[in-house]
Every structure is written in C-alpha cells, then in structure tokens.
Structure 1
Amino acid sequence: MTDNPTYRGTVYPWHCDHVGHMNVMWYVGKFDEATWNLFRQLGITSGHLRGGFGMAAVQQNITYKRELLAGDTVEVHSRLLEIREKVIRFVHEMRNAETGEVAALCELTGVHMDRSTRRSCPFPDAVLAAAREALAA
C-alpha cells in the first residue's frame, strides 16, 4: 500500500444505514475518490481525461472486514497490482484511522478509453513508466 493515503475522510451519520454502520454505497464512494487520487499520481489527470480520454471500471470486488460508525475517520491506502497496455489493476485498503484496523478491501480493474471512439486505447508512455516505477518500488 502507499505510505500516504489516497483518501482521508469521516463517516457522517447520514452515511449510516438502519443497523448503524456505514452503508455500502459510501464505501464505494470513498474507494472511488481514492481511485482518482491514485490515477493522478500515475499521470491520469483531469487534464488528460478532458483531452478526450476516459477510464472504465470493468471489475470491482469489495471485502468488508469491520464496521465503520458515525464519527470514525477513515483512510484509504492504495497499491498498484498490474499495468498492461490498456488495463490497470489495483487494490484499496480502507482503515479506521484511529485503530488502524482494516475495514474493507477493494480490488479494481480499469480500462483506458478513447472517448471519441468509445474503445479501449493504450495508456500514454508516461503513465506506463510511472506505473512500472510504482510496481518496482
């Protein structure tokens, strides 16, 4: 996982369901925010995406390990698992920032796209290089 969190935030009462713990939709949202921060670190920036490119999630698997409650502060740490010409795989680990306990894990697979053709396309060389450097670290 990265030493620096790709997301940090708080569980608010409106994030909680009828059982009193954070609802699954908010886990997904916090993991999504972590994804965009990880992408920025690799060079998949908002400027790149405004240039006609996009990312499509093609698989997402979440494992829930511990409940998060209103008032808990959470951190997501992310790690790249694989980069190929057009495909990226990575994992997020959501932790309770106070206890350090892992609350959930999320493994994702994404595809780089050309938005004009709506087809997959290769990542820029700089993104591939940054990802390979992250994998080697």
Structure 2
Amino acid sequence: MTPPHIASTHRGAVLPDWIDSNGHMNLAYYLVAFDHAIDVFTDSIGMDRAYRDAHGSTIFVVETHLTYARELVEGDGFRIETRVLGVEGRKLRLFNVMYCGDEADTVATNELMILHVDMRTRRSAPFPAPILARLIEWEARQAALPPPPEAGRAIGLQNRTKTL
C-alpha cells in the first residue's frame, strides 16, 4: 500500500541481465527501474496510454539526476516511491527514492525535470486542467515534508588550490 504522503509506489526485482562485471546492478538499470516508476505514477494521475492516445500528448524527461547509496544484487527486490516536488504549467519536477524490499534505507534516488508535450507539434504545452489539478493536489499534500537531501544536487569537485 502506498503511504499517504507518496504519490505512487512501484515494485520490482533485480534481473540477471541487470548485473554488471562488478557483481551488482548496473547503473543503466537503475534508470530503467526509475522509468518504470514514472510509468506507474503517470498512470495513477490519469496520463495512461488511453490519455496519451486520446489527447495526442505525453511527457518528456528533459533532465535527470541519479544518486547511489548502496548496491543491489541479482534477485534483490526493490520499491520506488515517487514524490511531486513541483508543478508549474507545463513543467513537473518529480523525485524518486529506491529502497531494497521493505527496508527504510535509501538505495538510490532519481530527480527529474519533465515537460508535458503536444505530440502533434512535439513542443511543450500546458498540462490539461484535470491532470494539472491532480499534480497540484499531490504537490500540496507533500509540501510539509522535508525536502529530500539529494534534491537539487549538482555534480562538482571541492575547490582545491592547485599546486605544481
């Protein structure tokens, strides 16, 4: 059951083909698992295949950030919980947290910037009012939650004085 503060939950298991030469889940398959979680989320808010076919619109991910906290190995079950961090017109910011089975420790996170797209023009377009209302409702429900510590992170190195 999805906790009341989470927009949706996806469950899966690490498949044999997802294991790399280091004996753990390859980084590419974390993104595959997170993508499946986005499908569960969009279905839950009414943006399923029937919606996409009827309205000629969909979503495109325009930016994504992954963080890793621990390894998963073949056969490990996982769950991914999705939160709405922000919505504005045609933009949506989602945040996913992956856990191993029913454990509470974070395995990986995924932050996404998404655009709603009119497939006839292949340009961004505002979310339809009913979908936007659901997204705003989720954003409001989750507004009191502390922001995920990984949200908004950027990749960088600490400033160091270069010595020769």
Normalising to structure 1: TM-score of the pair?
A: 0.93
Structure 2 equivalent of residue 96 of structure 1 = 100
Alignment partner, residue 56 of structure 1 = 60
1:12 aligns with 2:33: no
* Cα distance per residue 1:44-96 (max 9 Å; x no partner): 12112113112111000000111001121000001000111101001000000
Cα distance in 2 for residues equivalent to 1:37 and 1:76: 10
User: Is contact 1:6–1:35 with CA below 8 Å preserved after alignment?
Assistant: no
Larger fraction in strand: 1
Deviations 1:3-57 (A, max 9, x none): 2652111112221100000001110111001001111222212112113112111
In the alignment, is residue 127 of structure 1 matched against residue 142 of structure 2?
Answer: no
Which residue is equivalent to 2:140? 136
Asked if 1:36 is matched to 2:39, the reply is: yes
Aligned counterparts of 1:44 and 1:7: Cα–Cα separation in 2: 16
TM-score with structure 2 length normalisation?
A: 0.78
- Residue among 59, 79, 83 paired with 2:83: 79
RMSD: 1.4
Query: Which structure is larger by alpha-carbon Rg, 1 or 2?
Result: 2
Q: CA deviation at 1:98?
A: 4.6
* 1:88–1:109 Cα contact (<8 Å) kept: yes
Identify unmatched segments of 5+ residues in structure 1: none
For this pair of structures, how many residues does the alignment match?
A: 136
Separation (CA, whole Å) in 1 of partners of 2:110 and 2:63: 10
What SS class does the counterpart of residue 60 from structure 1 fall into? strand
State whether residues 74 and 94 of structure 1, in contact with CA within 8 Å, keep that contact through their aligned partners in structure 2: yes
State the AA in 2 paired with 1:136.
A
Identity over aligned pairs, percent: 33
Unpaired runs of at least 5, structure 2: 142-164
2:71 paired with 1:67: yes
